[in-house]
Amino acid sequence: MGTIITCAITGGGDTVSRHPRIPVTPKEIADAAIAAASAGAAIVHLHARDPETGQQSRDPELFAESVSLIRDSKIDVIINISCGMAGDLILRENLEDGIAGLGTDLLGPIDRLRHLERLCRDDRLRPEICTLDCGSMNFGDGDLIYLSPATYLRPMAKHIRQLGIKPELEVFELGHLAFVRKMVAEGLIDGEPLIQFCLGIPGGAPAEPFVLDAFRQLAPAKSNWSAFAIGRDEMRFVPLAVAQGGNVRVGLEDNLYLEKGVYADNHTLVERAAGLIRGIGGYVLSPAETRQKLGLRQPNV
């Protein structure tokens, strides 16, 4: 059985000051995605960043520009768009002044998908996959809470389906995975679910092999799953996921270094992951093979 490599190109975290080559502009993001695809990534996972500040952006036109540049390159790669923005609640220190503090970014369920709607206006830009973060959680050990309640997730899943996009169901703890099972049982997810196990994020499930095994056991029997761990655990979890029949994700969103003191690029992380997969007798799936495995349509390019 072959393995899908996803490359998470840039993320939305505050990494620009910590790495000299974090992709920021639409062209930089597209170029990094093209290089990752050339190195063996079947899927590229995209966020947008403000070209002026480097911070995460929800601007639909920035997403559209990155996707357009990737499609124009004619490289065959599956595009996965982040829908994890607009769920950040930063608590005020003094709650008598209100709950939401500086930096809070909250929108309702359908408003969180406006950038997808923009992409779907042009079938050439329609992504094959988008993420859906399947629960709320403390994010880190500070005052940030990521809000994604059940009353948001159900209408978001329905709207994503109406747009003709397959959701990648992001789970950061076992309770999120239990809700995935509930959405599958309720008929909100078409076909075999695609699930991403997200490990090592402070506030979520730790990056431990026994945790990966627990996630795998709780996942629906007929599902495709992928796993990643952040930072120094990223590459450690590549063979662990493959050995359990899963797929993998790497990229600068999750890890900045190829080895101690050596900055990574997206394509070098993909190359390292592909080498690990082949080194244990595995096979890296192409985009065409990945579409067949996940039941995805061929994009109109």
| Average pLDDT taken over every residue of the chain | 97
Task: Indicate whether 300 pLDDT > 80.
Answer: no
> What one-character-per-residue DSSP string does 58-86 give?
--HHHHHHHHHHHHHTT---EEEE----S
- CA–CA dist 199, 203 (Å, integer): 10
The pTM of this model reads: 0.97
Residue 93: predicted pLDDT: 85
Residue 51: predicted pLDDT: 98
Query: Percent helix, strand, coil in the chain (nearest 5)?
Result: 35, 20, 45
Q: Which of 96-105, 114-123, 228-237 has the lowest average pLDDT?
A: 96-105
Mean pLDDT, range 146-160, rounded to an integer = 98
Q: State the sign of the Cα–Cα–Cα–Cα dihedral 205, 207, 208, 210.
A: positive
Q: Which of 90-99, 183-192, 216-225, 256-265 has the lowest average pLDDT?
A: 90-99
Which residue bears the tokens 């109406």?
162
- Grade residue 176 by pLDDT with cuts at 50, 70 and 90: very high
